[in-house]
Amino acid sequence: MAPKLGDLRYMIFLDLQRNQLTGSIPPSIFNITSMKVIALSYTNLTRKLPTTICDHLPNLEGLYLMSNYLYAVIPPNLEKCRKLQILALGKNEFVGTLPRELANLTALTTSSTQILHLEGSVIFPYMKLKIFFLTRNRKVLGLRDNLLDGVFQAYVGNFSDSLQIFEAAGCKLKGVIPQEIGNLTGITRLNLFNNVLMGHIPKTVHGMLSLQELYLTSNKKEGTMPDVICNLKKLGVLDLSKNYFSGLVPSCFGNVTNLRNLNLAYNRLNSRLPASLGSLQDLIEFDVSSDLLSGQIPLEIGNLKAVILIDLPNNDFSSNIPSTLGGLDKLNNLSVAHNRLGGPIPESFGTLEGPMSLEFLDLCYNNLTGEIPKSLEGLLYLKYLKFSFNKLSGEVPTDGPSTNLTSQSFLSNVALCGDSRYNMKPSITNPQRIQEEKEFL
């Protein structure tokens, strides 16, 4: 960057984002007192920020420095930019801790410090000093992928109704989610993915009535899934996967009719699936894989008319596969592998030819019997098909997706017969059919 840019004494807006710049930011730029916005994200700039960065920027409202190679510590001097509303420092090489002086930026509405190399207790210990009382205007708090490695403090509740988005994924947060989380009545997105949080989900979440997305994936949460979640009527995404939840899948989940994504996979849920889930008419993805669920797959699952993905493998489901699944014309991915399902493969699967068209079908490791329905030849967009380790019999259909399959799709079904490329016994030719063909000729 040319140092002479600093000679433009009346400049208000500088935007050089997404250019291939090199070197450091000329310090003279930070002496232009009329400047309101400095936007230098995605420009490959390196070196340190000047320690006096805000000494002469009384009017600065936006500082965009994301995705560069800036290093060393974040200057505490930033607190002197008292009109600063947006501070974007993410995806750089900053180290150390987040300066406590930033809490004095009372005009700040958006602060992104995500994906840095900050370590130790960055934000949460400052809550003990009640610094969050000075920053209630913030709508977005982004701490993602910083190694905070501290306890999730109760003072987060001091944001009250002002905070809308809280991103703290991958921060090594420990302890329990504090009861005071329920004070965040204005929050729409809460992302605590990939931390070390334990204990139960606090019942106070029932007050977070604006919540639309809740991610608690990959923690150590335990206990039952509380019914109070069902009070969050605006909830569109609920991801509680990869925890230690046990007990029932709450039947009242079927009342959260705005749900589009419901992921309860990799827990210890040991109930039946409630039939009420069939009321989720807008559900797009449904994943309860690798739990301990048992009983029959509810027929009402066939009412999920918007669903694209249904993932039910690695459970203990029994009885037959519901034929109602054949009415899901948007279904793209279906897996019921590694269960105890019996009976025939539903003929209705051959009707899954909607706009999305079924591409993935995994029925392996069950107790399915009977023949592979010839109707499956109509699934022209099928890319993955697996029937291995069942008790299927009869001839493998020769048209449709079967033409692109290998023997791996049919392993350990001793009564199947078909083409030699499947490494199975050849088809038994029907004598009556041969006679009919001779008479036709």
pLDDT reported for residue 93: 82
pLDDT reported for residue 111: 57
* pLDDT-based confidence at residue 139 (cuts at 50, 70, 90): low
If you average pLDDT over residues 213-237, what whole number do you get? 96
Tell me how many degrees the CA angle 308-381-387 measures, rounded to the nearest 5: 80
* pLDDT-based confidence at residue 428 (cuts at 50, 70, 90): low
Strands (E), 78-230: 86-88, 93-94, 110-112, 140-142, 165-167, 174-176, 189-191, 196-199, 213-215, 220-223
Structure tokens at 138: 């913030």
pLDDT reported for residue 393: 94
- Listed by start position, the domains of the chain span 1-135, 139-311, 318-440
- Let me know: does 94 contact 119? Beta carbons within 8 Å: no
* pLDDT-based confidence at residue 316 (cuts at 50, 70, 90): very high
pLDDT reported for residue 346: 92
* pLDDT-based confidence at residue 31 (cuts at 50, 70, 90): very high
If you average pLDDT over residues 244-252, what whole number do you get? 97
Q: Which residue has the higher pLDDT, 101 or 386?
A: 386
If you average pLDDT over residues 130-154, what whole number do you get? 50
If you average pLDDT over residues 32-41, what whole number do you get? 95
* pLDDT-based confidence at residue 308 (cuts at 50, 70, 90): very high
Report the length, in residues, of the chain.
Answer: 441
If you average pLDDT over residues 307-315, what whole number do you get? 97
What letters, b where the CB count within 10 A reaches 16 and e where it falls short, cover 207-236? bbebbbbbbbbbbebeeebbebbbbbeebb
Least confident range of 227-231, 247-251, 403-407, 437-441: 437-441
pLDDT reported for residue 88: 84
* CA atoms of 56 and 60, how far apart (whole Å): 9
Answer whether CATH 1.10.3720.10 is correct for domain 139-311. no
What letters, b where the CB count within 10 A reaches 16 and e where it falls short, cover 20-43? ebeeebeebbbebeebbbbbbbbb
CATH number of the 318-440 domain: 3.80.10.10
Check pLDDT > 50 for residue 440: no
* pLDDT-based confidence at residue 57 (cuts at 50, 70, 90): very high
pLDDT reported for residue 163: 77
- Let me know: does 385 contact 405? Beta carbons within 8 Å: yes
Tell me how many degrees the CA angle 13-87-9 measures, rounded to the nearest 5: 25
pLDDT reported for residue 142: 56
* pLDDT-based confidence at residue 430 (cuts at 50, 70, 90): very low
* pLDDT-based confidence at residue 407 (cuts at 50, 70, 90): confident
List pLDDT tens digits, range 351-374: 665 544 789 999 999 999 999 998
If you average pLDDT over residues 377-405, what whole number do you get? 86
Average pLDDT of the chain, as a whole number:
84
Radius of gyration for the alpha carbons in the chain, expressed in angstroms and rounded: 29
Check pLDDT > 60 for residue 54: yes
CATH top class, domain 1-135: alpha beta
- Residue 433's SS3 state is helix
**Residue 104 backbone dihedrals phi, psi, to 5 degrees:** -80, -5
List pLDDT tens digits, range 146-190: 555 567 777 677 666 777 888 888 878 889 999 999 998 989 999
pLDDT reported for residue 126: 31
Biggest CA–CA distance in the chain, Å, is 99
* CA atoms of 244 and 440, how far apart (whole Å): 66
